[in-house]
């Protein structure tokens, strides 16, 4: 009887793994066919960045809520979180959400509250990477390289143009994509896809807002500093969540961990985009 239960469990686990693999391939194929939205089909996780931007576009285009007068505003965080959850649940298969699960509400709330201090966010994430027991050494090395890139861009953003920022990102991306990664090494690929696509989104969204503004004295578009801080907050929230979820659910090859990272990264990005300048997060 115990042996039968054991084999039944093995079969169930095998079906779950096959299902996640098929879901991942379908999602990756769908997103990698999005034409000009895809910047690098060489990155097998490019769909992560594109999916994140679609989620963020949904949040910002459907936003209808009074901006907070103080930070943190828990009701405002809940509002943005609910919108992101609605998008994810309506787009991704339930198996990619329920089989991994989100971080606890308290943990997610604390992460989103803390994104107003980018230096602390960077420091905490650096510690998390170095102390992970599921990452390979080279995934650690290149994940730190993306984090160092973000930190350096913030420090020098006052003298950089958007093209300068993208050139720096592309250089690091080329270096990362030159590696023959195995299917358990996903953090560096996830990070560069999310960071790059977030910067692209915020720059394009800001340009669109500038064109809609009839008052030239009002600065609507993001400065290079705001772009890099928003992109950094965004990718760290997503990558840190993915790493935490992967640590508890079978390692970095677990596709549901990537989806949870997209969701929390989108929440953080929406908050940074909407209220970051109100409270001078940069």
Task: Specify the pLDDT at position 74.
Answer: 93
The span from the CA of 166 to the CA of 200, in Å, is 8
pTM, two decimals, is 0.83
Asked if 273 and 60 count as a contact pair (C-beta separation under 8 A), the reply is: yes
Asked if 80 and 269 count as a contact pair (C-beta separation under 8 A), the reply is: no
Task: Specify the pLDDT at position 21.
Answer: 45
pLDDT digits (tens, 9 = 90+) for 40-71: 568 999 999 999 999 999 998 898 888 899 99
Percent of the chain at pLDDT > 70 equals 75
Q: Find the radius of gyration of the CA atoms of the chain.
A: 19
Sole residue written with tokens 């990264």: 265
The span from the CA of 43 to the CA of 170, in Å, is 12
Asked if 82 and 263 count as a contact pair (C-beta separation under 8 A), the reply is: no
Higher pLDDT, 1 or 176: 176
DSSP string for 60-129: HHT--SPPPSSS--HHHHHHHHHHHHHHHHHHS-THHHHTT-PPPHHHHHHHHHGGG-HHHHHHHHHHHH
Computed over every residue of the chain, the mean pLDDT equals: 80
pLDDT digits (tens, 9 = 90+) for 68-121: 999 999 999 999 999 998 898 887 776 666 555 556 677 788 889 988 999 999
Task: Specify the pLDDT at position 22.
Answer: 43
Higher pLDDT, 282 or 271: 271
Task: Specify the pLDDT at position 99.
Answer: 52
Higher pLDDT, 29 or 15: 29
2-29: average pLDDT:
41
Asked if 248 and 132 count as a contact pair (C-beta separation under 8 A), the reply is: no
pLDDT category of residue 38 using cuts at 50, 70 and 90: low
Task: Specify the pLDDT at position 36.
Answer: 47
- Which range of 20-29, 77-86, 87-96, 186-195 scores highest in mean pLDDT? It is 186-195
pLDDT digits (tens, 9 = 90+) for 200-246: 998 887 654 444 434 443 345 678 888 899 999 999 999 998 998 88
The span from the CA of 257 to the CA of 127, in Å, is 19
pLDDT category of residue 39 using cuts at 50, 70 and 90: low
């Amino acid at each position: 009887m115990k042996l039968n239960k054991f084999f039944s469990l093995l079969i169930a686990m095998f079906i779950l793994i096959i299902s996640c693999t098929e879901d991942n391939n379908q999602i990756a194929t769908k997103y990698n066919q999005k034409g000009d939205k895809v910047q690098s089909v060489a990155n097998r996780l490019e769909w992560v960045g594109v999916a994140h931007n679609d989620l963020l576009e949904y949040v910002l285009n459907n936003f209808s809520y009074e901006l907070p007068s103080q930070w943190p505003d828990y009701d405002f965080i809940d509002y943005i979180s609910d919108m992101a959850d609605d998008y994810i649940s309506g787009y991704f298969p339930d198996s990619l959400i329920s089989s991994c699960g989100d971080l606890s509400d308290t943990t997610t709330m604390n992460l989103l509250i803390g994104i107003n201090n980018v230096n602390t966010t960077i420091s905490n994430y650096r510690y998390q990477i170095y102390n992970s027991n599921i990452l390979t050494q080279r995934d650690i090395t290149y994940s730190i390289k993306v984090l160092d890139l973000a930190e350096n861009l913030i420090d020098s953003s006052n003298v950089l143009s958007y093209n300068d920022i993208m050139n720096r990102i592309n250089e690091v991306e080329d270096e990362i994509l030159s590696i023959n990664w195995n299917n358990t090494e996903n953090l560096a690929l996830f990070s560069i896809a999310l960071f790059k696509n977030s910067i692209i989104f915020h720059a394009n969204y800001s340009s669109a807002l500038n064109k809609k503004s009839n008052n030239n004295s009002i600065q609507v578009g993001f400065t290079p500093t705001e772009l890099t801080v928003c992109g950094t907050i965004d990718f760290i929230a997503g990558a840190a969540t993915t790493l935490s979820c992967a640590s508890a659910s079978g390692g970095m090859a677990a596709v549901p961990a990537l989806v949870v990272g997209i969701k929390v990264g989108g929440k953080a990005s929406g908050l940074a985009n909407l209220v970051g300048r109100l409270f001078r997060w940069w």
